[in-house]
Amino acid sequence: ARNVPWLLLAGGLLTALLASAIVEVMVRRRTYAEKLVAQRTAELEDAFGEIRSAQAFLDRLLSALPILVMRLSVNDNQLTYVSPNIERLFGLSEETALAPGFLADRIHPNDLRSVQAALQRVISEGAEETLEYRFRNGDGTYRWLVTIGVPELDAAGNTTAILGYGLDVDDRHRAEQAQREATTAAESANRSKSEFLSRMSHELRTPLNAVLGFGQLLELDDLSDEQSDSVQQILKGGRHLLDLINEVLDISRIEAGQLALSPEPVPAKEIIDEAVDLIRPLADQRGVQLVVDRTAPRELFVFADRQRAKQILLNLLSNAVKYNRLRGTVAISCQPSSDTSAHISVADTGKGIAAERLGLLFTPFERLGAEETEIEGTGIGLALSQRLALAMKGGLTATSTLGQGSTFVLELPQAEGPVERYERLNGRSEPVVHVPAPVQRRVLQIEDNLANVKLVERVLAQRPDVDVIAAMHGSLGLQLAHEHRPILVLLDLHLPDIGGEQVLRRLRDDPITASTPVVIVSADATAGQAQRLLAAGATGYLTKPIDVRQLLDILDGALNRAAMIEQIEAERAEEEAEASAPLMLASRDEGFSK
């Protein structure tokens, strides 16, 4: 009993101590919780600050970009997001863009159906699609917009929205439209120019034909010296005018891109020798010596249109002779200037050209004072020659020293010879010696390029039963075709006397050669040219450089055709012989009976 108060006192003290401890723990926990909350709050504020900064950066980036970003919901076809640069780019607010029916109202009515079809493909196929359409700006004008639509997929792989990235391409469309209009206008101008050239060629040549024709008839009459001199002046003026017309028309065709060129590997020595031979009578008449440098390698080939290259050389040599001093000299040389080009130079010992006037040398109708002399000319030959050289991927330049003379340099691309190319691709082989085949196994090659003639002979030598005969002029080719009746004719288009097209037409008009296969061999690889000649009666069309396998296939086809014809003719002759045999026997019997 005496201990009860003490026990109660001790229990109270213990209770008080426990309560104090519990309160202290609770206070500590609250303090810890408050600190933890404060820490987490600070971390969240930092995170939200970073998010806000990133959002601000993204907004600034999107506002500065030239691309409009959109998000289209596939459920209601409404925009749920549009980048803030829509106002800067198209003069529209974000609130306007997010309103119902925005896209359908802003896309041009003529483009709306194609845009809807493209969006449907994005939804159904889940693949990107590029859309190009006209979009109405805030000011009411339409501009072309190209948009890439990208599907936004859920976990199941279904398209829930379409992200669009749009770029204003109206300036590009305007430039393309302007280019199309300019191209159309240029084509129309070229057609008009071609029609004008064709008409002018006809209108000018027709009266000239009469002038020159009747002038030549008068020349044949018995005329007095005065009358004969007048006729010569008429013919001289007419031919001069004809040359001028031809050169002007050639320049116009070059400028219009309509000059037909047939570039091929041509031996430089051949065109030089041909041009020199043609100009020699004029040089002899004026006492000018022609000196040809023979140190150039014989196998030097240039890639050029043979006739046009010779035309340039003739013009340069003619000028060098006409504007030379009495008993002067013209030096002609040809050397490779690099691995890709060759130079043909024509140097004279004439009066030369002043440096300040040299720049006018290739100007049409500019004769640099020569019009005051008795030397004939049009002032257009050099301009034409330079344009022809440029059209053949070459060039024509001149240097001159007053009182000493001038030098003109024709630069042309260097080429590999046809025979050399054949040997390189097929292995160098020894020349094949073959016995000429019967007449029906002959192949006629009408070609003015000796290197190509040798190449075809080398290739066809692989068929020992074939004999190749060659003609370097169209008229001779027609004569040989009529006489030898070849199984195949290989016909070049550019011949020195008559054109290949005329040769083809005359072969087809001749009953003897009407059915003879004629294969055109030309450096002109344009499809229109080939189709036109095939329609005119050509059997085939080979482009240079010649495909050896294709040539042999054509030859084999011609050989098979010839064999079939021979077989048919032999069978027919046998049938005729058998049919006539009883009649002959009856005739003999009648004779015996008589």
- How far from 61 is each of 56, 65, 83, 177, 298, CA to CA, in Å? 8, 6, 10, 32, 70
Q: Which residues contact 540 (CB under 8 A, 6 or more apart)?
A: 517, 519, 520, 534, 554
DSSP 495-559: -SSS-HHHHHHHHHHSTTTTTS-EEEEES---HHHHHHHHHTT-SEEEESSP-HHHHHHHHHHHH
d(CA 29, CA 23): 10
> Per-residue confidence at 363, pLDDT binned at 50, 70, 90?
confident
pLDDT attached to residue 13: 78
d(CA 516, CA 335): 43
The tokens for 524 are 């002109």
Report the range of poorest mean pLDDT among 167-176, 421-430, 460-469: 421-430
d(CA 381, CA 484): 42
| Angle made by CA atoms 404, 409, 410, in degrees to the nearest 5 | 155
**Nearest of 502, 509, 541 to residue 524 by alpha carbon:** 541
pLDDT attached to residue 201: 61
- How far from 171 is each of 110, 114, 176, 177, CA to CA, in Å? 20, 22, 9, 10
Residue 107 DSSP symbol = B
Is the pLDDT at 523 greater than 70, yes or no? yes
pLDDT attached to residue 362: 79
Beta pairing partners, 147: 131, 166
pLDDT attached to residue 585: 44
pLDDT attached to residue 593: 39
Does residue 276 contact residue 317 with C-beta atoms inside 8 Å? yes
Residue written as tokens 């590997």?
265
Regarding predicted confidence, which is higher, 306 or 436?
306
pLDDT attached to residue 589: 47
Is the pLDDT at 390 greater than 70, yes or no? yes
Is the pLDDT at 437 greater than 60, yes or no? no
pLDDT attached to residue 134: 93
pLDDT attached to residue 411: 92
> Per-residue confidence at 304, pLDDT binned at 50, 70, 90?
confident
Per-residue pLDDT reduced to its tens digit, 3-29:
666 667 777 777 877 877 887 878 888
pLDDT attached to residue 193: 64
Is the pLDDT at 590 greater than 50, yes or no? no
Is the pLDDT at 432 greater than 90, yes or no? no
pLDDT attached to residue 133: 92
pLDDT attached to residue 376: 58
> Per-residue confidence at 588, pLDDT binned at 50, 70, 90?
very low
Is the pLDDT at 210 greater than 50, yes or no? yes
Per-residue pLDDT reduced to its tens digit, 67-108:
888 999 988 888 999 988 888 888 999 889 899 889 889 999
Regarding predicted confidence, which is higher, 438 or 185?
185
Does residue 412 contact residue 302 with C-beta atoms inside 8 Å? yes
Is the pLDDT at 335 greater than 80, yes or no? yes
d(CA 320, CA 317): 5
pTM of the full structure: 0.51
Average pLDDT, the chain: 80
Per-residue pLDDT reduced to its tens digit, 237-258:
777 677 767 766 666 667 666 6
pLDDT attached to residue 388: 86
Q: Which residues contact 103 (CB under 8 A, 6 or more apart)?
A: 72, 77, 79, 115
Does residue 160 contact residue 153 with C-beta atoms inside 8 Å? yes
